[in-house]
């Protein structure tokens, strides 16, 4: 089942890149971009998230995360804060609206995960290994195009 979970992870990323995923159908992307949703997700899952931690986890540049975080701050989805003993570092946390986006995103992912895990049960381990190789290569292709687009937006 380990391969099936890895295939699932990559497949969901591919769906998101191609806008097939249900985020649009559920209205989650009406006001914010998919990258912003992923940044919210990263902030929601990270202990004391800052630009550096988020950029490392998302595989984006710090400049790109700074730009995304400014948009999320202006939309009221995150807020910044500093620890009392560290006035240099700026951290982020979700607002109530940001938490709502985070929760909707998790719900969509959980539903899709269950559906796809059931689907992958029809394939042998060898078949899953081939599917995993295919989707890894496809994900790498989409990721490189996505990274290029973000760099050009700077």
Question: Per-residue pLDDT tens for 5-56?
Answer: 888 888 777 766 654 455 565 666 678 888 899 999 999 999 999 999 999 9
For residue 124, the 8-state DSSP code is -
Please determine, looking at this structure, whether the domain spanning 2-153 carries the CATH number 1.10.10.10. yes
How many other CB atoms are found less than 10 A from the CB of residue 148? 10
| The model's pTM | 0.70
Question: Per-residue pLDDT tens for 64-106?
Answer: 999 999 999 999 999 999 998 888 899 999 999 999 999 988 9
CB 40 within 8 A of CB 78: yes
């Amino acid at each position: 089942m380990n391969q099936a979970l890895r295939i699932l992870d990559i497949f969901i990323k591919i769906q998101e890149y191609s806008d097939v995923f249900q985020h649009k159908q559920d209205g989650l992307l009406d006001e914010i971009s998919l990258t912003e949703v992923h940044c919210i997700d990263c902030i929601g899952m990270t202990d004391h998230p800052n630009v550096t931690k988020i950029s490392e986890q998302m595989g984006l540049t710090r400049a790109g995360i700074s730009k995304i975080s400014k948009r999320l701050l202006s939309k009221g989805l995150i807020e910044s804060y500093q620890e009392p003993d560290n006035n240099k570092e700026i951290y982020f946390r979700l607002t109530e609206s940001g938490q709502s986006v985070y929760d909707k995103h998790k719900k969509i992912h959980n539903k899709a995960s269950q559906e796809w895990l059931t689907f992958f049960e029809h394939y042998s381990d060898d078949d899953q290994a081939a599917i995993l190789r295919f989707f890894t290569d496809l994900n790498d292709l989409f990721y490189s195009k996505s990274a290029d687009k973000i760099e050009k937006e700077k």
